[in-house]
Amino acid sequence: MKFALTTLALIAGMSAVSANAAALNEKNLSLEDANALATAAIQSCAANKYNVSVTVVDRAGNIKALQRMDNAGPHTIEASRMKAFTSLSTKNASGKVMEAAQNNAGAANMKDVPGFLLLAGGLPVRDGDQVIGAVGIGGAPGGHLDEQCAQAAIDTVFKK
C-alpha cells in the first residue's frame, strides 16, 4: 500500500511538471540558406584567388553544407569546420575568441575546448537575436581574409 501511494504521488508530480513545461521555439538554418552561404563564400574567396574550404553548421553545430575548392589544402576542411563550431558555440567571431584567449588569462584555456580552433574565419549567422548557425572558412592567406569572405557571404544571403 505504501508503495502504491508513493508511486501515485510520483506520477502526480511528474504530470504537474510536464503540464508546466513550455516548448521552446527555436529558429534554425535551412539547407537552402546553408548551401547559398557556402556558395557565396566560395565565390567571394575565388574572386580574390583564395583556395578555401567552407563549412556551414546549424544551431546545433551539425554540418549543413561543406564545399572545398579544387586547389584548397586538405587541412582546410577541418579548419573551416572547427572555426564554424567555435563561432557557433561562443556566438562570436572565432577571431574575437582568439583575441580573448590571448589577452585574458581567464580565457586562455579556451584553446583546450574540444572542437575549438582559435583562428579568425568563423562567423555566427543570426536571425534577429538568435544564432541559427555559423560559417567557417579556411585556406585564405590569413584568417582575417577568411572572415571577410564569410561576412560577404552572410551579407549576400541575408541582405540587410
**Residues 71-94 pLDDT 10s:** 999 999 999 999 999 999 999 999
Please tell me the predicted confidence (pLDDT) of residue 15: 54
Position 20 pLDDT exceeds 80: no
Please tell me the predicted confidence (pLDDT) of residue 70: 97
Residues pairing with 54 in the sheet: 67, 137
Position 51 pLDDT exceeds 90: yes
Query: Which position has the higher pLDDT, 21 or 109?
Result: 109
Please tell me the predicted confidence (pLDDT) of residue 21: 80
**Residues 54-73, mean pLDDT to the nearest whole number:** 98
**Residues 100-127, mean pLDDT to the nearest whole number:** 94
Q: What is the 3-state secondary structure of 56-105?
A: EEECCCCEEEEEECCCCCCHHHHHHHHHHHHHHHHCCCHHHHHHHHHHCH
| For the chain, percent of residues with pLDDT exceeding 90 | 79
Residue 126 main-chain phi, psi, to 5 deg? -115, 150
| Distance separating alpha carbons of residues 77 and 158, to the nearest angstrom | 24
Please tell me the predicted confidence (pLDDT) of residue 25: 86
pLDDT-derived band of residue 44, with 50, 70 and 90 as boundaries?
very high
Structural domains for the chain: 28-157 (3.30.450.150)
Position 118 pLDDT exceeds 60: yes
**Inter-axis angle of helices 75-90 and 94-103, to 10 degrees?**
80
